[in-house]
Amino acid sequence: MYAFFKNKYLPIAEAKMSILTHAFHYGTACFEGVRGNWNEDEGQVYIFRAQDHMERLINSAKVLRIKIRFTAEEMVNIAAEVVRKGNHKEDIYIRPVAYKSAEVVANMKAHLLEDDVMVFAFPLGNYLDPNKGIHCGTSSWRRIDDLSIPARAKINGSYVNSVLAKTEAVESGFEEAIMLNQDGHVSEGSGENIFIVKNGTLITPAPGDNILLGITRDSVITLAKQELGMETVERQLDRSELYQADEVFLTGTAAHLTPVSKIDHRAIADGKIGQVTQRLQALYFDVIRGKNKKYMQWCHPVYDKPSKSSAKSNGAAVSAVRASDRR
Ligand SMILES: Cc1ncc(COP(=O)(O)O)c(C=O)c1O
């Protein structure tokens, strides 16, 4: 496993930072979770919506007054290079982080502190089980408000909110938490957006409900419209609407599209995975592995000239950004 760290590609074990690093003390960093999906037939890893993830990283960084010295495109190339260096031929998770690298404590002036960026990749299978319906619990922790730490920016410090909610959910016997916002409306899971299907309509909380504007959420809205002819309504959603929904599912880079069969001990409809969820999930899994030619613009190939044998044996590299040239 490799990292791009302090302008060099290194084995992860060699990528170390000081205990004085500002981001460690104050959570002054923003990150992305990106998946590279293995296509066995082609011997290829496709990074899903790589450019969109890097653009979201740059937007999150703006909030924190972090300057990223690479363009989104260059960040995509760095991510691909990290995967090639690790010679991954499997499903992987890529973690880009932009952070306040200044080795200084007791200084809250973000605009004056030094920044850096890192990227690393590691193998990751399922985060939640997408093959069965999971049991979710409504969290006693409220989703952090836009006026406190903006949820639409993926800021490291705010993930304490997710950790509290997820931990509480799992210790209470659920598989995932559903967080309400400050007004008591449904916001999202600890690391996923949420959708319901009611009377043939897809409904998901609106951007103003303190959600992260998920890239999987956007992909599912697009697939529902283009492939199933279903529009998605983005609006405030009440907790009780979840209990009465025909179908519920979660979306996220780590969680993919995970069906929910029970919430707070109440079965969703008959407790089985619904038709719309099944159809969207099948479409989504084909798309992310580069198996649906219509959506190849969302899939960034890591290895050059993919073929089962050549990609497996040498993983030939597409030219990467020489990050060291940019300083
Ligand atoms: C809090 C939160 N909501 C939603 C999502 C889903 O976003 P995406 O589909 O871009 O991974 C994530 C995962 O990144 C998340 O951490």
Q: What is the DSSP string of 227-278?
A: HH---EEE----HHHHHT-SEEEEEETTTEEEEEEEETTEESTTSSPPHHHH
Region 57-80: mean pLDDT is: 98
pTM of the complete model: 0.93
- What is the 209 CA–ligand 1 centroid distance (Å)? 14
How much is the pLDDT for 31?
98
Q: Whose CA is nearest to atom 4 of ligand 1?
A: 192
User: Is the beta carbon of 33 within 6 A of some atom in ligand 1?
Assistant: yes
Region 251-262: mean pLDDT is: 98
Residue of 85, 89, 100, 154 marked active site: 154
- Tens-digit pLDDT profile for residues 294-303: 999 999 999 9
Q: What is the DSSP string of 34-69?
A: EEEEEETTTTEEEEETHHHHHHHHHHHHHHTT---S
> 163: number of CA atoms within 13 Å, CB side?
5
Q: How far apart are CA 185 and CA 134, in angstroms?
A: 21
How would residue 319 be classed by pLDDT, with cut points 50, 70 and 90?
Answer: very low
Q: How far apart are CA 194 and CA 187, in angstroms?
A: 8
- Of 182, 232, 229, 227, which is closest to residue 209 (Cα–Cα)? 182
Q: How far apart are CA 34 and CA 253, in angstroms?
A: 6
Give phi and psi for 132, each to the nearest 5. Answer: -135, 165
Q: How far apart are CA 247 and CA 260, in angstroms?
A: 8
Atom of ligand 1 nearest to the CA of 218: 9
Q: How many helices (H) and strands (E) does the chain have?
A: 8, 17
- What is the 307 CA–ligand 1 centroid distance (Å)? 32
Beta bridge partners of 301: 46
Q: Is 154 a catalytic residue?
A: yes
How would residue 312 be classed by pLDDT, with cut points 50, 70 and 90?
Answer: very low
- Tens-digit pLDDT profile for residues 271-310: 999 999 999 999 999 999 999 999 999 999 999 964 444 4
Q: Which long-range contacts (CB under 8 A, 24 or more apart) does 280-284 make?
A: 280/220, 280/223, 280/224, 280/228, 280/249, 281/130, 281/249, 281/256, 281/257, 283/223, 283/227, 284/216, 284/219, 284/220, 284/223, 284/256, 284/257
- What is the 308 CA–ligand 1 centroid distance (Å)? 32
How is domain 134-273 classified at the CATH fold level?
D-amino Acid Aminotransferase; Chain A, domain 2 (3.20.10)
Region 205-222: mean pLDDT is: 98
Q: How far apart are CA 273 and CA 268, in angstroms?
A: 9
- What is the 326 CA–ligand 1 centroid distance (Å)? 30
Q: Which two tokens stand for residue 157?
A: 């410090």
Q: Which two tokens stand for residue 263?
A: 């919430």
* Residue count (the chain): 327
Can you give 195-233 as a three-state secondary structure string? EEEECCEEEECCHHHCCCCCHHHHHHHHHHHHHHCCCEE
**Average predicted confidence (pLDDT) for the chain:** 94
Q: Which residue intervals of the chain bear CATH 3.20.10.10? A: 134-273
Q: Decide if pLDDT at 314 tops 70.
A: no
How would residue 233 be classed by pLDDT, with cut points 50, 70 and 90?
Answer: very high
Q: Decide if pLDDT at 317 tops 60.
A: no
Instruction: Tell me the percentage of the chain whose pLDDT exceeds 70.
Output: 93
How much is the pLDDT for 318?
36
How much is the pLDDT for 323?
35
- What is the 265 CA–ligand 1 centroid distance (Å)? 25
Atom of ligand 1 nearest to the CA of 216: 9
Q: Whose CA is nearest to atom 1 of ligand 1?
A: 191
How much is the pLDDT for 155?
98
User: Which strand (E) or helix (H) includes residue 289?
Assistant: none
User: Is the beta carbon of 212 within 6 A of some atom in ligand 1?
Assistant: yes
Q: How far apart are CA 263 and CA 261, in angstroms?
A: 7
Q: How far apart are CA 146 and CA 127, in angstroms?
A: 27
How is domain 2-125+292-313 classified at the CATH fold level?
D-amino Acid Aminotransferase; Chain A, domain 1 (3.30.470)
Higher pLDDT, 315 or 307: 307
Does residue 151 contact residue 158 with C-beta atoms inside 8 Å? yes
Residues 6+ apart with CB under 8 A from 192: 128, 176, 214, 216, 250, 251, 252, 254, 255, 258
- Tens-digit pLDDT profile for residues 105-142: 999 999 999 999 999 999 999 999 999 999 999 999 99
Q: How far apart are CA 195 and CA 231, in angstroms?
A: 12
Q: Decide if pLDDT at 70 tops 50.
A: yes
How would residue 45 be classed by pLDDT, with cut points 50, 70 and 90?
Answer: very high
Q: Whose CA is nearest to atom 12 of ligand 1?
A: 191
User: Is the beta carbon of 162 within 6 A of some atom in ligand 1?
Assistant: yes
Does residue 188 contact residue 211 with C-beta atoms inside 8 Å? yes
How would residue 29 be classed by pLDDT, with cut points 50, 70 and 90?
Answer: very high
Q: Which residue intervals of the chain bear CATH 3.30.470.10? A: 2-125+292-313
